Amino acid sequence: MNTTPVLYTITGQDRPGVTAGLLESLDTTGAEVIDAEQIVIRGELVLCLLLNMPAESQPDVTRSLQAAALREGMSIAVDEEPALDDPRRLGRVLVTVMAEPLCPTALAGITRRIADLGGNIDRIERLAGYPLVVVRLTVSGADEGDLREALAAESASGGLDIAVQRLALTRRGTHLVVMDVDSTLIQDEVIELIAHYAGCEEEVRAVTEAAMRGELDFTESLHARVSLLAGVHVSALDEVRDTIRLTPGARTLCRTLKRLGYRIAVVSGGFTHVVEPLAARLGADYALANELEVVDGVLTGRVVGPVVDRRGKAEALRRFAAESNIPLEQTVAIGDGANDVDMISLAGLGIAFNAKPALKAAADTSVNVPYLDAVLYVLGITREEVEAADAADGVPTRADLTESTLITRPGR
């Protein structure tokens, strides 16, 4: 039988039952659906139907759809020679753009760079409208590495966050999210808080910053810093634990991931006395950190057992994934310093959060806004999904001003 494909594009005001009515009009025409895509923007529907049918049936199919569209008050365009199996659709990537505000010129710069690389924008959709404007572009036909490099330059010049990732990484299912703690999950560097009690805070801070930039070996720097804590009473660790500040959005991130079935792990070059209670508080499934030696209620200035360094963090990610029966390509790692490079490189998706240059260079994508739950958008989770999950659990959606971004900006 001689068949022919035809592309129908139908636009007009959306309401319940519109799509069903249009498709029902084809009931007796013998047409088959090859491809379909629909989007609604502010109540305006755009429906694309690629139909295959016997050549002699095409006039009847077109008349049926035109009549159905007219009844619904919609317009229809017909393309009798549509492109099939467009090679540009192969290897599609997602480009997530976060800004406040998102200016037309900024979005124009992004789309121009995509076009210059031979990329095509198949779809644009909004993920959130506050406190950041977040849109996601599905792009085909451009090399992922070239796109990431070009859009990193656009991000730097335009003052907005742009994340690039393979489409396959956003497929729903069981994932493992592994997070660094100091300066990622929390705003503080725990060893510096402890150093305050030893009177060597500035000295420890200088060594920490050099280690996070990758200028010093982490293990050696940790032993050097911990040695300065000798003589501090263990009660200081309790005080530090009670004063740490979660990064804004940390609680929302963990709460939402847990509701959606993700597994969560925290790995830290910090210390178990602080990290383990924090992990339990946030519902993490796994936790790993260094253990400070305590004798007679006083820190000795030594670490018990192997140091959790950059290699140890990567090994922990691999072990936690295996214990959860989650393949590495479905793991996500989030960190900020050179100590996180190995686990960021190993994960299916590595995210540099307000990170040092050494980590940004190794990560798949960067998030530079001060809200940790912005990571949800990179994972393809929308603000509406977050709020729906919160509402189902009776969680106030705009009340947590210190640990969530679910707030309106001043004046809203």
Question: Residue 218, class by beta-carbon neighbours within 10 Å (0-12 exposed, 13-18 middle, 19+ buried)?
Answer: buried
Q: 91 pLDDT exceeds 80?
A: no
Residues 10, 111 within the same domain: no
pTM for this model (two decimals): 0.76
Structural domains in the chain (count): 3
Q: How far is CA 67 from CA 1, 226, 237, in A?
A: 27, 78, 74
Say if residue 250 is in the same domain as residue 371.
Answer: yes
Name the phi and psi angles at 49, rounded to 5: -120, 120
Is residue 276 domain-shared with residue 364, that is, in the same domain?
Answer: yes
Asked if residue 408 is part of any domain, the answer here is no
Question: Exactly one of 161, 182, 373, 390 is catalytic; which is it?
Answer: 182
On the question of pLDDT at 340 being above 50, the answer is yes
Same structural domain, 138 and 158:
yes
Integer Cα distance of 287 and 49 in angstroms: 49
User: Does residue 93 share a domain with residue 7?
Assistant: no
Provide the residue range defining the domain that includes 383: 177-189+245-392
Residue 297, pLDDT > 70, answer yes
Clarify whether 242 is annotated catalytic: no
Residues 182, 326, single domain; the answer is yes
Q: Which of 91, 71, 56, 66 is nearest to 8 (CA)?
A: 66
Phi, psi dihedral angles at 162 (to 5 degrees): -130, 120
348-370 pLDDT, tens digit per residue, is: 999 999 998 889 889 988 898 88
Distance, in Å, from the CA atom of 219 to the CA atom of 224, rounded to the nearest integer, reads 9
In the structure, what pLDDT confidence band is assigned to residue 389 with cuts at 50, 70 and 90? low
Q: Does 385 or 271 have the greater pLDDT score?
A: 271
Question: Does some domain include residue 224?
Answer: no
Q: How confident is the model at residue 388 (pLDDT cuts 50, 70, 90)?
A: confident
- Whether 293 shows a pLDDT value over 90: the answer reads yes
Residue 200 lies in a domain: no
* Residue-level pLDDT at 313: 97
**DSSP state, 378?**
H
**Which of the listed residues 171, 199, 217 is the one where a domain comes to its end?**
171
Q: For residues 335 and 312, give the distance between their C-alpha atoms in angstroms, rounded to a whole number.
A: 14
Whether residues 318 and 381 share a domain: the answer is yes
For residue 19 the two structure tokens come to 């799509």
Which one of the listed residues 14, 161, 180, 373 is annotated catalytic? 180
Q: Is residue 204 part of a domain?
A: no
Residues 64 and 145 in one domain: no
The number of beta carbons lying within 10 Å of the beta carbon of residue 70 is: 11
| Whether residues 182 and 329 fall in one domain | yes
The verdict on 327 and 182 lying in the same domain is: yes
Confidence (pLDDT) at 174: 75
pLDDT at 406: 35
Structural contact between residues 165 and 94, judged by C-beta atoms closer than 8 angstroms: yes
| Best CA proximity match to 250, nearest among 333, 316, 352, 179 | 179
Residue 332 belongs to some domain of the structure:
yes
Asked if the model's pLDDT at residue 403 lies above 50, the reply is no
pLDDT band at residue 27 using 50, 70 and 90 as cut-offs? confident
Output the CA–CA distances (angstroms, integers) from residue 28 to 49, 145, 357, in the order listed.
17, 48, 61
Residue 391 has a pLDDT of 74
Q: Active site includes 116?
A: no
DSSP H or E stretch at residue 253: helix 250-259
The 10s digit of each residue's pLDDT in 190-211 is 999 999 988 898 898 888 888 8
User: Is the model's pLDDT at 155 over the cut of 90?
Assistant: no
Query: Any idea what the CATH number is for the domain that residue 260 is in?
Result: 3.40.50.1000
Structure tokens at 309: 């360094």
Percentages of the chain per state (helix, strand, coil), in multiples of 5: 40, 30, 30
CA distance 343 to 333: 6
Cβ neighbours for 229, distance < 8 A, ≥ 6 positions apart? 191, 194, 195, 198, 200, 292, 299, 301
pLDDT value at residue 85: 55
CATH code, 163:
3.30.70.260
- In degrees rounded to 5, what are phi and psi of residue 217? -65, 130
50/126 same-domain check: no
Largest distance between two CA atoms of the chain? 92
Same-domain status, 367 and 253:
yes
223 part of a folded domain:
no
- pLDDT over 80 (residue 326): yes
Alpha helices in 16-57 (DSSP H): 18-24
Residue at a domain's end among 171, 204, 227? 171
Give Cα separations from 125 to 36, 131, 411 (angstroms).
16, 17, 26
The predicted-structure confidence for 236-251, as pLDDT tens digits, reads as follows 999 999 999 999 999 9
31, 61, 79 - which closes a domain: 79
Of these ranges, 15-29, 115-129, 152-166, 341-355, the one predicted with the greatest mean pLDDT is 341-355
- Cα(23)–Cα(317) distance, integer angstroms: 48
**Does 375 reside within a domain?**
yes
